[in-house]
Copies of this chain bind each other. A is one copy, B any other.
Amino acid sequence: MEKIKVAIIGCGTIANSAHIPAYMKNEKAEIKYFCDIIPERADAAVEKYGVGKAVYDYKEVLADPEIEAVSICTPNYMHSVIAVDALEAGKNVLCEKPAARILSEAKRMLEAAERTGKILNIGVCNRFHDSVTRIKEYIDEGRLGEVYHVYASFRAHRSIPGLGGAFTTKAIAGGGALIDWGVHFIDLILYCVGDPKPLTVSGTAFSKLGVDMKNYTYESMWAGPPDYNGTYDVDDSVVGIVRTEGPVVSLNGAWAQNIGKSEMFIDFMGTKAGVRLEYGGHFTLYTAEHGALVEYTPKFEIKNMYEKEIDSFLDCVRTQEGNRADIRKIIHSSEIMQALYDSSDLGREVVVE
């Protein structure tokens, strides 16, 4: 079968660590363009991977009728603009998470997908993680009974990425710890419990440890060194509670906090059994059997979730049928994040319409 011609728009960290290697390994696809407004990045990708052509304006990519699919790996503020343009140009789109900076942008993307009938997937990679898949199966089979509460802890000690850069500038990223890390946890939970509609959201997003940039002490910094002349106006921690048509979801997250633990896990509390998922890793099932309490921790090999994500996206491109990462499925995550930021600004609970 002929290979799907693909373009990578945005050749930064997530493109190089996840999307590009996954396309390179996948026999269904062929990368035709590496696109980045920073020409060096596009050029470097061509050289590194030995395929494709470097371009610097995404509109050039969209103008090529051979291109069937694009991966959007730009900073968040360009997600909705490029995704809508691409859909309207008849392309199928895989857009990195979060869908967008704010809910209205995400809705515009959803509308464009519905209007054009093309595929729009969001890079909610955890929906393709083997542990998550198993937990969802357990829940669907009723092994946990009623899941009534899910608690997500995504708390690191001092892990602000690229202080002063794109990650910490609201106009570019839309937010901080919540939009960058929280989105994974919220989306993963919603997926496992059947994508229930959110009802009420109350929470606070704090911007406390990064604001005094010069005095922010850290052990290591991912996503680049600090830019002390840059901007820091995003949340570095967040707490919230979400009522849904299904379980209550509570969140406690931090890029940075003065508690020296890294507690990255999700607890699914069911009436028959519960599950603690160590984020990105394995899980333990807690249940009762024959009158005794039992812990059960399977340690299977976890396949690369990005490869599965890309492979499933390519199947969607072929079949033109939606999968678990379809924008329709993940719009609730955007609603919840928007409501959390709104609730934080207002100092009170927000009812999701």
Q: How far is the CA of A219 from the CA of B151 in the complex (A)?
A: 24
Q: Nearest chain-B residue to A207 (Cβ)?
A: B148
Considering only residues 269-305 of chain A, those with a C-beta below 8 Å from chain B are 269-274, 276, 284, 286-288, 291-301
The interface residues of chain B lying within 8 Å CB-to-CB of A146 are 208
Residue A267, interface by CB 8 Å: yes
The interface residues of chain B lying within 8 Å CB-to-CB of A43 are none
CB <8 Å contact, A297 and B299: no
Contact of A274 among B218, B258, B293, B298 (CB under 8 A): B258
The interface residues of chain B lying within 8 Å CB-to-CB of A217 are 288, 291-293
Residue A209, interface by CB 8 Å: yes
Q: How many residues of A contact B (CB 8 A)?
A: 60
Binds B, one of A120-128, A188-196, A225-233, A234-242: A234-242
Residue A319, interface by CB 8 Å: no
Q: How far is the CA of A297 from the CA of B237 in the complex (A)?
A: 24
CB <8 Å contact, B269 and A219: no
A residues at B contact (CB < 8 Å): 144, 146, 148-149, 151, 157-158, 199-200, 202-204, 206, 208-209, 217-220, 237, 239-241, 243, 248, 250, 252, 254, 257-261, 267, 269-274, 276, 284, 286-288, 291-301, 347-349, 351
18 more CB-based (< 8 A) A-B contacts, given A209-B271, A217-B292, A219-B293: A148-B206, A149-B237, A149-B239, A151-B252, A200-B347, A200-B348, A203-B241, A204-B248, A243-B347, A258-B270, A258-B286, A260-B284, A292-B300, A292-B301, A293-B299, A294-B299, A295-B299, A348-B349
